[in-house]
């Protein structure tokens, strides 16, 4: 059956169904966008923590080399 075979009421009904489906999909997209943003924030926090830990490791390795270096 093609769109040309549908009555005005059937076309309107299908149009309204499609509008509802679009609304549902837009809501899902908005939820996923929010989740992605939250995950990006978490990633940024973890990257900062990794950088801080790397700096601390470098500091401790430097201190360790001072004690291991025979004078």
pLDDT at 71: 61
Q: Which residues have CB under 8 Å from 54's CB, separation 6+? A: none
Q: Which phi and psi angles does 22 have, rounded to 5°?
A: -60, -45
pLDDT at 70: 67
42 pLDDT more than 70: yes
Confidence of residue 4 (pLDDT cuts 50, 70, 90): confident
Q: What CA–CA distance (Å, rounded) separates 49 from 55?
A: 10
The closest of 14, 47, 31, 22 to 3, measured between CA atoms, is 14
Assessment of whether the complete model's pTM goes beyond 0.85: no
The closest of 47, 70, 51 to 59, measured between CA atoms, is 51
């Amino acid at each position: 059956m093609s769109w040309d075979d549908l009555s005005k009421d059937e076309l309107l009904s299908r149009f309204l169904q499609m509008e509802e489906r679009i609304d549902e999909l837009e809501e899902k997209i908005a939820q996923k966008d929010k989740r992605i943003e939250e995950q990006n924030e978490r990633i940024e926090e973890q990257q900062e923590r990794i950088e801080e830990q790397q700096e601390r490791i470098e500091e401790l390795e430097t201190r360790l080399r001072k004690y291991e270096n025979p004078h």
